[in-house]
Structures are given as C-alpha cells and as structure tokens.
C-alpha cells in the first residue's frame, strides 16, 4: 500500500511539473516576433484569449491610467476618448479586420471607477487649453497650454463613456509585468501604473508596430495609429 501511494505521489508530481512547464510565460514583445499568448477577463465578465483571435489583426493598448496614487491620468482619459471616437468613425473593426483590446493593471472595481471619472478628465484637458488669464503669468502654465492645444486639439464630452471594444482586467499584472510595462514610479509620478504602450499585431499574432512611451506625452494619436495600420497590416 505504501509503495502504491508513493508511485501515485510521484506520478502527480510529474504531472504537476509538466503542467507548470506548459504554463504560458509572458515575454517582452519584439517587432517581427509573435506576441506571447495570454488570457484575461473583461470588464463585462467575459474572457479574451489572444490565440483565439488568430486570423484577425489586433491592437493592444496599455494606458498609464494613474500618474500618482489616486491621481487620474487625464491624458489617458483624452486618448481613450479619441481612440473610441476614431475606432467607430473610421470603422476600424471592418476596415482593418481589427480587434482593439485595452488593458488595465487594476481590479474591475478600480477600472470602473476610472471610467466613471473620464468626463472630469476631459474637462481637465479643456482647462489646460484655456487657463485663466491670471494663470497665464506662469510660464509653465503657458507652455503646457501650448502643448495641450497642439497635442489634444479635439473636445470630447460624453453622456455615457463609450466602450466599443473589450476592456481587459490584468489585476494580477502578469501581462503588464511580462511585457515590462508595470511600474511603481515612472515619468515623475509615483504609484501603480503602466508605461503607456501600444502594439499592433497581424493576423498571425506577430508584432508589426510597437510604441512604449518614454514620457507621459509620448503617445501616438488615433490618426497616427490609423496611418500605421494602413502601412503595416
């Protein structure tokens, strides 16, 4: 009996080892190479597995989300609005045979809270572009006004924030960390956040475009992304 138990235990250990060896390891993404497979829950309770999307083009978007502890990244709010608007107006899904996936390295609860505050973020961007007269005496405010007007020219306002594509919940941060995006401090801000990044994958899951930000304003516009998709897909 003892011998049989020992053999069963050994068999279980071998199986466990094989399963562990087969577990997906998220690796950094390189141009011209396949993106590591992953599976994540969506904000609406579904599941998305990257390999299940093979045969379609995919855009992976990683917003910074927060620039500090409890500090919303208003640029992220603007760029989400711009992305959702251009995605729908340009009919990206049909035109490019494309699935867009937006990844948040936080719980579903935190992510929902962030989306609820997008209107406030968009209002903040408008304030950057039109500061009060007395504030313009500050050269830093004036310089930021010029940057904001050039980089975030459109005005967005939503009665309800659109979600035309899946919002993925990377709460354990396995994908974000595997791609070397997750940080506790970045671009002058402390707190849990991702480096803003975008990856465009072709129908075989191969990375054809990538941009990992070097600064919080170093992010491509939706119009630029559309231009890149026309070039690489």
pLDDT score for 9: 47
Rounded Cα–Cα distance for residues 210 and 36 (Å): 14
pLDDT score for 3: 57
Tell me what the mean pLDDT of segment 177-186 comes to: 98
pLDDT score for 150: 96
Percent of the chain whose predicted confidence (pLDDT) is above 90: 87
Tell me what the mean pLDDT of segment 182-196 comes to: 97
Rounded Cα–Cα distance for residues 185 and 182 (Å): 9
pLDDT score for 159: 85
Rounded Cα–Cα distance for residues 190 and 82 (Å): 26
- Tens of pLDDT along 9-67? 445 544 455 444 456 799 999 999 999 999 999 999 999 999 999 999 999 999 999 99
pLDDT score for 1: 45
Say yes or no to pLDDT of 4 above 70: no
CATH architecture assigned to 24-232: 3-Layer(aba) Sandwich (3.40)
- Tens of pLDDT along 75-120? 999 999 999 999 999 999 999 999 999 999 999 999 999 999 999 9
Percent of the chain whose predicted confidence (pLDDT) is above 70: 90
pLDDT score for 2: 55
Rounded Cα–Cα distance for residues 54 and 58 (Å): 9
Say yes or no to pLDDT of 172 above 60: yes
Confidence of residue 223 (pLDDT cuts 50, 70, 90): very high
Domain ranges of the chain: 24-232
pLDDT score for 24: 74
DSSP state of 56: S
- The model's pTM is 0.89
pLDDT score for 22: 52
Rounded Cα–Cα distance for residues 16 and 193 (Å): 34
């Amino acid at each position: 009996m003892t011998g049989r138990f020992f053999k069963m235990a050994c068999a279980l250990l071998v199986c466990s080892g094989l399963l562990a060896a087969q577990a997906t390891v998220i690796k950094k993404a390189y141009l011209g190479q396949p993106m590591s497979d992953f599976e994540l829950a969506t904000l609406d309770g579904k599941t998305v597995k990257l390999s299940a999307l093979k045969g379609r083009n995919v855009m992976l978007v990683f917003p910074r989300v927060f620039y500090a502890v409890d500090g919303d990244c208003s640029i992220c709010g603007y760029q989400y609005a711009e992305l959702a608007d251009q995605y729908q107006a340009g009919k990206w899904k049909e035109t490019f045979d494309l699935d867009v996936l937006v990844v948040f390295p936080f719980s579903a609860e935190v992510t929902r809270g962030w989306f609820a505050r997008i209107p406030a973020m968009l209002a903040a961007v408008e304030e950057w572009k039109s500061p009060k007269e007395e504030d313009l005496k500050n050269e830093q405010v004036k310089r930021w006004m010029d940057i904001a007007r050039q980089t975030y020219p459109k005005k967005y306002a939503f009665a309800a924030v659109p979600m035309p594509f899946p919002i993925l919940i990377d709460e354990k941060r396995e994908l974000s960390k595997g791609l070397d995006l997750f940080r506790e401090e970045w671009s002058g801000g402390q707190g849990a956040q991702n480096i803003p990044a975008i990856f465009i994958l072709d129908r075989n899951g191969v990375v054809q475009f990538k941009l990992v930000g070097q600064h919080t304003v170093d992010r491509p516009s939706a119009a630029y992304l559309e231009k890149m998709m026309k070039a690489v897909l």
